Chain A
Amino acid sequence: MSYVSTDSTGGTNFWVSFFESQRLVSGTIIILIYILLLSIFAYLISGYIAKLYRGEKTWLDPISGRLVNFFINIFGEDAKKDTKMREYFITLLIFNAAAGIFAFIFFYFQTYFPFAGVTHNYSFSLSFNTVTSFLTNTNLQHYSDPLHLSYLSKTFVLTGLMFLAAATGFAVSMAFIRGILNENGRIGNFYRDFLVSVFYLILPLTILVTIIFILSGVPQDLSQYVNVNPILSGGIQRLPLGPVATWEAIKNIGTNGGGFYGSNAAMPLENPNWFTNLVEFLSFTVIPLGSILSLGKVFNNRGFARTLYIVLISIFFFTTFMTFFAEYSGIPSITSLGTLFTGNMMGKETAIGISQSSIFSSGAVFTSTGAADSVLLAFTPAGLLGLMGNLILNDPLGGVGTGVLNIFMYVIFAIFITSLMVGKLPELMSIKISSKEIKYSTLSLVTHPLLVLIPFGITMLLPALVIGDPNPRPDVISSVLYEFLSAASNNGSEVGGFATNTAFFNIADGILMLMGRFILMGLQLAIAQSFATKSPKVETGRTIETGSPLFALMLFVTIIMLGVLSFFPVLALGPFLSWAKDFNLFIGGLL
């Protein structure tokens, strides 16, 4: 089957033709390399993040420290005082509301502001949807076409919100960890945490990634678009250009995921080759995983970080390989056509390929990024199910900061159940967990399925909402479910198929995104506040050992069970039904 010409590789080496022909093996190796590199980079950055969490000195102090202090001094007492959860959260909400209001004004009335270019106005519901989705780190792209965004909308509004959303998420995780570490009843200052997030973590990494992107061929200029005369065809096309590299950098570093172009990272200008694909993948996974790994150093409990790593990476392995195998196997109706089938390339880019598209998409839903370097609608049903698995678990690795918060909700709950099973009262990091914290964590865990399934049920009752979707009904169910899963978990990836830019979906998604983000943050900060007054027990060796394989198993089972229990019957009529006819091929591909 080898179709490598001998002169292109300098001789037909056995291994070269082996890897060329055995795409399943090569793809698996590529995916493993991705995960390995992610683990290495996350480990490297985890020490630095741990310092930020513990408020220790870092090598960026001379620059970042000065910038932080400069802005703190500008805003005076408000930015200095150590606050309790209530004030912290209100500050955060007002800050986000302010950003949302500014963004909405500049976005909705973009034609009236400078640098309007060739833009036109967006509808009220689309403006609401876009602003809330960028504000909540979701980044749905109902707007789709970059030509219609003014320069200010692209920069001040959307790039600005991408920074703000990421920094807000990280700030909350700082406050949460401070709550566990502190015993004085205070969780910190939002201004300060925001500034530290920006100047110590997000901005430096964004600058680094911007430079890498520019050097790899991602455009970065001030033009709105350029007129292109395609070769020998006469017609003129507008090619949208602009600050793509900076956009891409913060899109990934901030786990935002909204693309500059409608096709997101499938667009060669956003993601020209395997190298940028890898860099993008690493840049949207490294902070979330690095933050999780940093917990080992923050709490002086390496076992805990190891447990979280093993549990999360297991989930990631499972969903990624499910997607990869599914995409590699294809579906019978297509594979039986007789072409040379080396994987479902429909909707995927040649320069990226099956394995890299699979791990990229999987990583984008494993974190709350939601970027896509391929078209999800064209995924096989099983491949889509693999991706959906992550959304069902509310993006297990989460976004910048929020990943730490989400995993703690699961951890607290798993500790509760595990403790009961061995006749202990629950403890986290040797701090007693009271019924209040368990209540809040339980509430935050049930919020996700409720947020998803209520609008989903309503949509199912009103088929007119998705009437334009030409696909089989089970596929439509998958798309609708995916849409709400993505919004509620602040992910932002989409399957589409039906028209998403409608008042119903714009508004419903917008509300879901706001609730999915800020209700959870509120509950999580309340837990932090409750921990902030407690001091840890001096080790007696009697706590549930969070570093033990047994606890890892319990955590894994807890996460999976909560997800499976809430979504299994709903999945049966959607993705399962679509998958059913390809099931045997998938299993056959596995064996």
Chain B
Amino acid sequence: MKPKSVIKLFAFAALFMFILGFVYPTVSSLAAEGLDPFQANGSLIEDNGTVYGSYLLAQAFNESYFFQPRPSATGYNYTGSGSGPYALDANQTLNQTRNLINKFISDNPTVNISKIPYSMVSYSGSGVDPDIPLLGAQDQIPRITGSLHSILLVSGKNVSNSSLESFLNKTVSKYVVQNFPLFGSYYVNTVQLNFAILNLLIGYGAIKGY
């Protein structure tokens, strides 16, 4: 092959890496800003310029009045990945799962083990799975009811357990979706649920902001 042809090929490669690799995504990004800025930016939860998270990503909701997302092997780190270094049949996985079950039961003592979805005691793949099965949310309602009741009491609001419970049930029902039309299983997004709870607390003046 002639040297000139080789140079042409190098130019061809560079040109198309530039057009397809650089120009295309960059132009798309600029266009997307106009198209749907909310989703194009990652469904971010923004308030006064501060980003508090994304509806698509779980956080470590450390308070007991929040719905707990699935356990994370990466500590809900956005740049981490995976469900830990252990294969499913490794002994470590077994111990890990036992610990997670014990923790879930100690957090939610009213729940029978046979009502705990396995999802709630196994790591998600991304480490930031915001979604939990419907039953996983329902399991947590008694604990959250109690927890909300006491934190509201602290700030001087006595809200009955039953109204809190019906609020939580309603919220869960509002956000429940299926992971495939008709045939999917039901799940809820903990970020959405927890923002509803946050708004409730803010509404009652129990906390000031995010």
Contacts and interface: CB of A to CB of B under 8 A. Distances in A.
A–B contact at 8 Å CB threshold (below): yes
Contacts of B53: 228, 230-231
Interface residues of B, number: 107
A258 B22 CA distance: 17
Contacts of A7: 173
User: Which residue, of B10, B92, B117, B126, has the highest number of chain A Cβ atoms within 10 A?
Assistant: B126
Contacts of A60: none
Contacts of B52: 228-231
User: Which residue, of B87, B126, B176, has the highest number of chain A Cβ atoms within 10 A?
Assistant: B87
B161 interface: no
B16 A345 contact: no
Contact of A163 (B21, B88, B182): B21
B210 A232 contact: yes
B17 A99 contact: yes
Contact of A356 (B80, B121, B138, B180): B180
A221 B184 contact: no
Interface string B75-93: 0111111110111111011
Contacts of B98: 337
* Contact size range, A: 35 or more
B61 interface: yes
B118 A339 contact: yes
A20 interface: yes
Contacts of B134: 3-5, 8
Interface stretch (A268-276, A386-394, A508-516, A539-547): A268-276
Interface stretch (A150-158, A410-418, A525-533): A150-158
A353 B20 contact: no
Interface stretch (B1-9, B142-150, B151-159): B1-9
B40 A238 contact: no
Nearest to A202: B20
Interface in B8-50: 8-10, 12-14, 16-18, 20-22, 24-26, 28-30, 32-33, 35-36, 39-44, 50
Interface stretch (A139-147, A299-307, A564-572): A139-147
Interface string A564-591: 0000000000000010011000000000
B10 to A, nearest CB: 4
B119 interface: yes
Contacts of A220: 25, 28-29, 32, 40
A29 interface: yes
Nearest to B39: A217
A231 B67 CA distance: 13
A90 interface: yes
Given A30-B184, A229-B210, A472-B87, 7 more contacts: A237-B78, A239-B54, A274-B181, A339-B116, A339-B118, A340-B118, A346-B93
16 contacts: A78-B9, A94-B1, A145-B79, A160-B22, A222-B30, A228-B53, A240-B78, A240-B79, A243-B26, A266-B126, A274-B179, A331-B88, A337-B98, A346-B83, A349-B129, A381-B88
